[in-house]
Amino acid sequence: MNALKTAVIGCGGISDIYLKNMTQRFSVLDVTCCCSKGGRSAESKAEKYGIRAVSLEEILEDREIDLVVNLTPPAAHYDIIKKSLLAGKHVYTEKVIVNEYIKAKELQQLAEEKGRRIGVAPDTFLGAGIQTARSAVDRGLIGQITSCHASINRDMGMLYRPGSFVVEPGGGMGFDLGIYYLTALLSVLGPVKQTAGIVQTNRPGRIVADTASPYFGEPFTVENENIMAGILVFESGAVGTLNFNGDSIFPEAPYVALYGTEGILTIPNANEFGGAVTLQKKGWAEPVILPASHGFSDNARGIGAAELAWSVLKKRPHRASADMACHAVEILEGIEKSWRDGCFKNITSRFERPRALPESYPSAGPGMGNEESVLVI
């Protein structure tokens, strides 16, 4: 096996779990270097994980680097992804690909022209929780799915601070957090053909509320959505509802449910990899917890990049695809346009529902391979 030489761009808070997993867990990724704006955080991460701190220009000019893992804030995604593709690199990027559908499609087309791949987070749908739910659906345990619901709440006021991406376009409840729950539904149910909804920015003029923050008391403006409620009409005929509320409280109370003609399935937190999947059948007194059919139940961030790398080597489609990511952005943008125009919006993009991961790992005995082996197939 030839591992893909990999560079990381962006060394913020999320980079630790990515670098840990990509350097210690996924053999298909040979992480050689990282860079960050200003360079200090890259130097710290490079020392911690035994790689080199370099500049963005050095990454782009290095012909040996096969894959760029982009962990920058959403506002930087378009430029980083475009430059990486033009430099001949495959790209795996944190969500969202970009927060404008027209730019997302442009990047997708550029990748196709260059013969490169774009993989896009979230990759939590590849974890044990959602893959177990997918297996239950594919085996017909709840019959035909007729509707679904996904909701998540936060008190974004406790996270807001001046200059943070969470107050900028692309950092709101739909594009930054709701994308996990929307992607979970898409990975199980496939594409959406119509959407409508409501988008609000409650109290855009704020002051920093966190008393422990050095910015406490400073005024700022929220430039994105903190409330998004949506309706989804799937090509399959199922209908769905979304409720993403950032003007609520902590703790989070995530909820994802699939309603079928033969039962109801609840999916764990779509922002995590594991968690209990419950099944309620007609006539049962109470639901049961399904045994996990897949591995990756802990924080496996980076699995999407590893699966992309294996797919490049095996010359097959990767699962965390740009097609699905662009579709998700078009849906979120469609909800915004629906609220503005007062009507349903047709979704023009389509994607192939990603193949389920094999179920081999949890039951694999000695000598049957490690957890990563399921990504090879």
Any idea which of 118-122, 211-215, 285-289 has the lowest mean pLDDT? 211-215
- 3-class secondary-structure state, position 226: coil
Comparison of pLDDT for 162 and 97, the residue scoring more: 97
| Whether the predicted pLDDT of 268 surpasses 60 | yes
The confidence score (pLDDT) of residue 1 equals: 64
* Rounded-to-integer distance, Cα 147 and Cα 163, Å: 39
Burial class (CB in 10 A: 0-12, 13-18, 19+), 164: middle
C-beta separation of 4 from 309 below 8 A: yes
The share of the chain scoring above pLDDT 90, in percent, equals: 91
Q: Report CA-CA distances (Å) from 261 to 38, 84, 255, 258, 281.
A: 55, 46, 20, 10, 10
| Confidence (pLDDT) at 310 | 98
pLDDT attached to residue 371 = 85
Using one digit for the tens of pLDDT, what is the confidence trace for 316-339?
999 999 999 999 999 999 999 999
**pLDDT by residue (tens digit) across 197-252?**
999 999 999 999 888 889 899 999 999 999 999 999 999 999 999 999 999 999 99
257 by Cβ neighbours in 10 Å (0-12 / 13-18 / 19+) ranks as: middle
Burial class (CB in 10 A: 0-12, 13-18, 19+), 202: middle
Instruction: State mean pLDDT over 345-374.
Output: 81
Q: What is the pLDDT of residue 362?
A: 60
Q: Does the pLDDT value for residue 365 go beyond 80?
A: no
pLDDT in tens, 123-177: 999 999 999 999 999 999 999 999 999 999 999 988 998 889 999 999 999 999 9
Residue 262: name the closest of 144, 125, 118, 134 by CA: 144
Per DSSP bridges, beta strands 205-207 and 255-260 are unpaired
Instruction: Grade residue 369 by pLDDT with cuts at 50, 70 and 90.
Output: low
364 has a pLDDT exceeding 60: no
> Distance between CA 125 and CA 356 in Å, rounded?
10
Buried b (16+ CB within 10 A) or exposed e, 32-50: bbbbbeeeebbbebbeebe
Question: Rounded distance, CA 95 to CA 325, Å?
Answer: 8
In eight-state DSSP terms, residue 124 is G
Domains, the chain? 4-123+300-321+352-362 (3.40.50.720), 125-290 (3.30.360.10)
Strand order across the 288-290 sheet: 288-290, 277-281, 263-267, 255-260, 145-153, 239-245, 227-234, 192-200, 345-346
